[in-house]
Amino acid sequence: MTQPSQSSSDLTTLSFEVMPPRKENLIKPFWDTVQRLLSVTPDFLSVTYGAAGQDRHSARDVVRSLVQDSPVQPIAHLTCVGTTATEVGEVVSDYLDAGVRTFLALRGDPPVGRPDWQPAPGGVSSATELVTLIRSIEAARCAQYPGAALRAAFKPLTIAVAAFPAGNPAAGTSPNQEVERLLVKQSAGASFAITQLFWETDTYVNFLEKARSNGVTIPIVPGILPPTDIKRVNRMTELTGVVFPEYLRRRLESAQSVEEMYSVGVSLGARLARDLHEVGAPGIHMYTFNKAAPALDVLDAAGLVSASHLDPSISR
C-alpha cells in the first residue's frame, strides 16, 4: 500500500465540529466549550445545522458570533432535506451577509420514520445540488455588487462536502460508489471533503488511493470521534452503520472504570490521529459532541498540540 508523504506537522490543519445549543441553559456551557477548543488555535470550527434544519436559528446565531467575535473561521453546515430551494437560498444569503465564506453542504437525514422520503417539488435533493445552488447564489451576488466581487477575489467562497471512506451503510453504498459521488461533488464545485467517522487508518488510506486514482483532487480531511464512551460509540454505530472493530471494542469494554475507559479511548483516538498524520492527511477534524476534553486530550496525546498550546487558565 503506497502511503502519501507528509512534510511538516505545521501544515496539518486542526478543526472541530460543534453543535449549537438547543436550550437556553446550554448556551453558557456551549461557549465555555468553544473557548476551550479555541485555546489550541484551530483552523476552523464547523457548526451543525440539525436534522432537517431543526437547529437553524441557533446555528445562525453561533456562526454570526464566531464571525464577529472570534479569530476562527466558522464552517456553516447546510442541509437540504425538508426545505425548498428558495428556503435554502434565503439561508445561504443570510450567512453570506453575515460574512460566512465557508459552508459544509450536506443532504441531511430524512425525517424520522420516513426512510423512503423524497424531496418535494422545488426542493433540493442532494448535496451536489446544494453545492451548485450555493455557487450560483454567490455568482449572482458578485455579478450584482462590485464590492461582493472584490471580497470574493481576496476571500473566495469555499464549500466542503462529506466523504464516506467506509461506504455509507445508511445509503447502501460501497467505498467505490462513494468515490464516484465525491467526484460528482467535486465537479459541482466542492473545495474539500470531511469524512464520516471511521476507526482504522487503512480505511482512510484505501479510500484516498481510490479517490485519487479516479480523479478526485480536492483535500480529504479525516473526521475522528474520540472513542472514550462506549455508549456514544454504540449510538454512532446505530446512526451511521459504520462498525466499531471488535478488537477495539474489547479494549474499551475491558476497562474497570469510567476513568480507565476514558484513558483507553484517548489512547486509541490518539493512535488513529497520529497514524493519519503520518500517512499525510491534510488535517484532523474532531467530532466533539460539545465535549472539549476528549478532543483536546486525543490531540495532545497524538503530539498534534503541545501543553504550551493549551491555555493553563482553562480547564478542559
Domain assignments of the chain as residue spans, ordered by start:
9-309
At residue 169, the pLDDT reads 87
Q: Supply the mean pLDDT for the chain.
A: 89
At residue 67, the pLDDT reads 94
Q: 285 - beta bridge partners? A: 15, 223
| pLDDT reading at 35 higher than 70 | yes
Q: Give me the mean pLDDT over the 223-233 stretch.
A: 97
Q: What is the C-alpha separation between 89 and 108, in angstroms, rounded?
A: 16
- In degrees and rounded to multiples of 5, residue 32 shows phi and psi of -60, -40
Whether 265 and 229 have beta carbons less than 8 Å apart is answered as: yes
Q: Which helix (H) or strand (E) holds 44?
A: strand 44-47
Q: What is the pLDDT of residues 147-175, one digit of tens each?
A: 999 989 999 999 999 999 999 987 889 99
CATH code that applies to domain 9-309: 3.20.20.220
17 given a catalytic annotation? yes
Q: What is the C-alpha separation between 251 and 231, in angstroms, rounded?
A: 14
At residue 207, the pLDDT reads 98
- Least confident range of 79-93, 173-187, 244-258, 269-283: 79-93
At residue 6, the pLDDT reads 37
For 49, 123, 162, the CA distances from 216, given in Å and listed in that order, are 27, 27, 13
The catalytically annotated residue of 17, 129, 138, 178 is 17
At residue 123, the pLDDT reads 76
- Least confident range of 44-58, 123-137, 195-209, 218-232: 44-58
| pLDDT reading at 228 higher than 90 | yes
- Least confident range of 34-38, 77-81, 266-270, 310-314: 310-314
| 12: confidence class by pLDDT, cuts 50, 70, 90 | confident
- In degrees and rounded to multiples of 5, residue 87 shows phi and psi of -65, -45
At residue 11, the pLDDT reads 66
| pLDDT reading at 1 higher than 50 | no
At residue 108, the pLDDT reads 79
Q: What is the C-alpha separation between 98 and 303, in angstroms, rounded?
A: 35
